[in-house]
Chain A
Amino acid sequence: GAVVSQHPSRVICKSGTSVKIECRSLDFQATTMFWYRQFPKQSLMLMATSNEGSKATYEQGVEKDKFLINHASLTLSTLTVTSAHPEDSSFYICSANLGHHYGYTFGSGTRLTVV
């Protein structure tokens, strides 16, 4: 089946630094990928939709200059958390759509801790 590989699985960084998270589609081409954030005991909240070759579409309230998304190829989307602060500590998850009504496949998530 379609697999999305997400790395790293965990990262600890110092406040003020930037962190890049990668999401790769392994055996299919993903023209659209989605980035979610999940705080403890809460649901997944969509942050942005990443489109190959074009600018990402951000959800209301998500700072596009803080959460940089790059989708330069059909198999790779990256999320960079810039100038990270402790409140950015969260579980970040990527997803790819397999076509309308064909479902979505999710990465395994990245646990970001900012100290």
Chain B
Amino acid sequence: GESVGLHLPTLSVQEGDNSIINCAYSNSASDYFIWYKQESGKGPQFIIDIRSNMDKRQGQRVTVLLNKTVKHLSLQIAATQPGDSAVYFCAENRSGGSNYKLTFGKGTLLTVNP
């Protein structure tokens, strides 16, 4: 079935390094994608989003890349800090008539080593 998935379930990096978290999606009709950060016991926190008419979007220390040809999404975190340790989810916004909903990928646990 249609789904949003991740290539890497865990990622461990050294403080100061750049992190790249990947995500694959299968629904070519999805038009909006969001990356969330979730710390233990908390709700998802918005990081950055991108619309399907864009290939790249930058925020503060984060960049999202969208490759519609291969249905791939990535989140790049520059100069990763210990506070970045969390689970990261990509989410796919699917529109269906007047309804739309968000479908989450499996998540990647990012661990930043000091």
Contacts and interface: CB of A to CB of B under 8 A. Distances in A.
Interface of A: 6, 34, 36, 42-46, 49, 57, 91, 93, 95, 97, 100-101, 103-109, 111
Contacts of B104: 36, 43-45
Given A36-B104, A44-B44, 15 more contacts: A34-B101, A34-B102, A43-B89, A43-B105, A91-B41, A93-B44, A100-B32, A100-B95, A100-B100, A101-B31, A101-B93, A106-B36, A106-B43, A109-B42, A111-B41
Contacts of B36: 106
Given A43-B89, A44-B89, A104 B102 contact: yes
A109 B41 contact: yes
A101 B93 CA distance: 9
Top 6 A-B residue pairs of the complex, sorted by shortest distance between their CB atoms: A106-B43, A44-B104, A43-B104, A109-B43, A108-B43, A106-B44
A5 B62 CA distance: 27
8 contacts: A44-B104, A46-B101, A93-B43, A101-B32, A101-B93, A103-B49, A107-B43, A108-B43
Nearest to B89: A43
A25 to B, nearest CB: 14
Interface string B34-52: 1010000111111001010
Interface residues on B, range: 20 to 34
Contacts, number: 51
Contact of A103 (B31, B46, B89, B95): B46
A34 B44 CA distance: 13
Interface string B67-105: 000000000000000000000010001010001111111
B99 A105 contact: no
A42 B87 CA distance: 10
Nearest to B100: A100
A108 B89 contact: no
B56 interface: no
Nearest to B51: A101
B106 A49 contact: no
A93 B44 CA distance: 9
A95 to B, nearest CB: 7
